[in-house]
Amino acid sequence: MADQPQSRRFDPARRFPTDLPATGALMPGDPVGARRFMTVTDGRPFALEGGGRLYEITVAHETWGHLDIDASNAVLICHALTGDSHAAGGIASGHPSVGWWDDLIGPGRAIDTDRYFVVCSNVLGGCQGTTGPSTINPATGRPFGSDFPQVTMRDMVRVQKLLADRLGIERWLSVVGGSMGGMQVLEWGAMYPRKVRSLIPLATAAAAGSTQIAWSAVERLSIVTDPNYNGGDYYDAPDGHGPWQGLMIGREIAQITYRSAEVFERRFGRAHHDPRSEFHPWGRFEIESYLDHHGQKLVRRFDANSYLVVSKAMDLHDIGRGRGGVSAALGRLNVPVLTASISSDTLYPPYQQAELHDEIVAAGGRCRYEIIDSPQGHDGFLLESEQLGPPIRETLERVEKNDV
Amino acid sequence: MADQPQSRRFDPARRFPTDLPATGALMPGDPVGARRFMTVTDGRPFALEGGGRLYEITVAHETWGHLDIDASNAVLICHALTGDSHAAGGIASGHPSVGWWDDLIGPGRAIDTDRYFVVCSNVLGGCQGTTGPSTINPATGRPFGSDFPQVTMRDMVRVQKLLADRLGIERWLSVVGGSMGGMQVLEWGAMYPRKVRSLIPLATAAAAGSTQIAWSAVERLSIVTDPNYNGGDYYDAPDGHGPWQGLMIGREIAQITYRSAEVFERRFGRAHHDPRSEFHPWGRFEIESYLDHHGQKLVRRFDANSYLVVSKAMDLHDIGRGRGGVSAALGRLNVPVLTASISSDTLYPPYQQAELHDEIVAAGGRCRYEIIDSPQGHDGFLLESEQLGPPIRETLERVEKNDV
């Protein structure tokens, strides 16, 4: 009560990074870890769904296990918005985090690398080795930046198909992914029905809905209004600063949508973090410190332009576009599908996966639908491996035996 | 498909206002409409809960109906985060919108101005006539800006109590409000148990929870990272620009949390708004245009510093602070309480109002609890007047007759 009036003046240096590279993208000279690189274009331009062309596309990918002689045991893993090819494996030079699905992928695990040849590639437009906005534009010798064209899920999947061709994989035993990964899984089924034997789209949707678009739209606005964004051309900023603040705020927004009020309440409640008084305008509660931590972590490993391109691609996701609508497109999926909801997911609510199931079944298709009972929110697709493992394992085994 | 590659370069002028006053606050010389002004301080400093003092506090307020000779028919209305004193009444000079609860307050309506003397004041720290960051600081002759101290719900309520004293109101028939208004209602009950005969806190919480703090924290970060925020001192910016972008983005985040996925999906679906191609990186879906509309609307009528001060006051809301915790504080409420939930409210979820009810009843208090069945989300407390009206009307009538 005896405090003097406190200035509301906000000190960005107490809150945001000040000493990072302008981008968290994998840049030339960085350690590449387990990634391999494949140029999938052949000199001819790659025409994108929304217009625009790319003249050279390189795909960073990782593999686990061994491909059978008849190439029948290959499983494709598709990553989510800020994921990358490091779906499995430990921390190592070039891989600051454990694989994002390491609990599911490995010897003896649900996606058993003793049995399957598992592939995960960084998406087109990404920033961890596959061609994207931080890649050098051959036309200018500088990173694409704002000149990188908008890509779609279908473009990403076409690039994955070119990679499969080069890896000698005629047909995937399964294509598996959650969230944006699940969007790619669905597009695989719609674009290449003869190239897949099963589909496992988790915590995803047939088409991005209004609220999903709303969140990613405000996340993108946070990025582009950061003065250090500089219209997308920040890679060579004279002061070395990238749009850290904008990307960090965008991630903080997203992080709230990825979890659940139940988890936050239980973990943080109203606990106060800062040494400053609770009443200080910029004193942080624990939940704020948690969000800052996640924001800063993303800034270290991601690229703002990739965030813009890839999240817009998610907004553009609509399995029904040009195919007579969602029902018609889902109705034509002719392989077994396993989908799952996280019960507490408010970003990709269970009704969206129920819709996948219902439309597929209504059209005479095969679909198994699991509801994962979990308080973890959307991130449950990354965290609930104990519950997700068994149905995934069973689906793969039955497809192997043609018993679905 | 024939489009040329599109630059991702973002054009702020297509998206954000460029020609507004630096603040949407009510400033000297602006038409005041139905507002009246009362200086509630008496020359002595007003000490704030969190430290800091204010030497002069003026309160903008509006009234409807007539005060009985025994001053027994007065009802106080408390507004939410971006509300103001214009709870009822039409559009007029100084009042660009219809009163925010006009369907509930008026002759013959639930809060019947033929029977009751209804008062609504702009909160301390606000920007529509009550002392706040956009007010001239007598010490400097310029707006407080970043020097305005942090206030709390309790400070706001103490100021309302000073106003009541000056209006000759010894005891309110009821104190009524939703969201942040409901926080003030609860504090009235805890701070001045003899000054209220009933409490009607709607769609609110005993204490701000982690997720509520999370949202307002990222909204505030959006504001302070706008370069035009200038540390809070933007009122006299040489270029006349205020932190419009930051406040607009903050409001867009908030707007998503105020409604529901069901409402957005039904109203907007995946409809595209822009004349530009759907694939243009900055082509907007209808939902984005809707959010921009709400963001721009707020920028015209609100002040960025007030947003920071008042939303932080919401985070600091904890009815149990210094009172032995939430249960103890609620258990001491000794007047009839009516609370209500909006079934689809994800920002102030129904369990928070159920907690109010349960704690009050467990301690032997009187509490009526209504669940309003509505898809409108948190904003249901503003929109569902047909459902909210009857229980509010009944509560007021029974309190009048001492029949509760």
With beta carbons under 8 A apart, name residues in chain A contacting B17: none
Residues 228-267 of A with CB under 8 A from B: 229, 231-232, 245-246, 249, 252-253, 256, 261, 264-265, 267
pLDDT digits (tens, 9 = 90+) for B57-72: 999 999 999 999 999 9
Residues A231, B286 contacting (CB under 8 angstroms)? no
What are the chain B neighbours of A7 within 8 Å (beta carbons)?
146-147
The chain-wide mean pLDDT, for chain B, equals 95
CB contact under 8 A, A5 and B149: yes
pLDDT at B8 (0 to 100): 66
pTM greater than 0.90 (yes/no): yes
DSSP, collapsed to helix, strand or coil, labels residue A305 as helix
Residues of B in contact with A49 (CB under 8 A): 1, 279
- Distance from the A202 Cα atom to the nearest Cα atom in chain B, whole angstroms: 20
% of chain B exceeding 90 in pLDDT: 91
Provide the chain B residues 299-338 that lie in CB contact (below 8 A) with chain A: 305, 308-309, 312, 315-316, 318
Write down the pLDDT at residue B275. Answer: 82
Helices A153-167, A180-191: axis angle to 10 degrees equals 70
Distance of CA A31 to the CA centre of its chain: 22
Q: Tokens at residue A126, please?
A: 């990404």
For chain A, report the end-to-end CA distance as a whole number of angstroms. Answer: 69
Among candidates B185, B166, B152, which has minimal Cα distance to B47? B152
Of residues B6, B222, B231, nearest to A52 (C-beta): B6
CB contact under 8 A, A149 and B277: no
Provide the pLDDT for residue A4.
Answer: 42
| Strand runs labelled E in B166-308 | 174-178, 199-202
Residue A267 one-letter amino acid: R
Domain spans of chain A? 13-207+320-400
Task: Identify any residues that bridge with B105 across adjacent strands, giving them in sequence order.
Answer: B111
Which residue, B127, B128, B122, is CA-closest to B145?
B127
CB-nearest partner of A5 from B147, B207, B277: B147
Runs of H (alpha helix) within B137-209:
153-167, 180-191
- ipTM for the whole complex: 0.96
Q: Is B211 on the interface with A (CB under 8 A)?
A: yes
Q: For the structural domain made of A13-207+320-400, what CATH number should be given? A: 3.40.50.1820
**Interface contacts A/B by beta carbons within 8 Å:** 233
**Chain B residues inside the 8 Å CB shell of A312:** 281
Residue A8 in contact with partner chain B when CB distance is under 8 A: yes
Using DSSP's 3-state secondary structure scheme, residue B20 falls into coil
Is A378 a catalytic site residue?
Answer: yes
How much is the pLDDT for A5? 46
pLDDT at B13: 85
Domain boundaries B20-207+320-400, CATH class: alpha beta
Pick from A230-239, A267-276, B301-310 the range whose average pLDDT is largest.
B301-310
Pairing relation of β-strands A337-342 and A367-372?
Answer: parallel
Reported as a pLDDT band with limits 50, 70 and 90, residue A9 is: confident
Q: Is B119 helix (H, G, I), strand (E, B) or coil?
A: strand
Write down the pLDDT at residue A156.
98
Sign of CA dihedral B168, B171, B172, B178: positive
- Residues B176 and B111: beta-carbon distance below 8 Å: yes
Residue of B nearest to A284 (CA): B217
> What 3-state DSSP class applies to B56?
coil
Q: Residue B8: which of A232, A246, A268 has the nearest Cβ?
A: A232
Q: Quick one: three-class SS letters along B295-352? A: HHHHHHHCCHHHHHHHHHHHHCCECCCCCCCHHHHHHCCCCCEEEEEECCCCCCCHHH
Query: Strand A105-106 vs strand A142-143: parallel, antiparallel, or unpaired?
Result: unpaired
* Chain B nearest CA to A126, separation (Å): 15
Render pLDDT for A34-56 as a digit per residue (tens, 0 to 9). Answer: 999 999 999 999 999 999 999 99
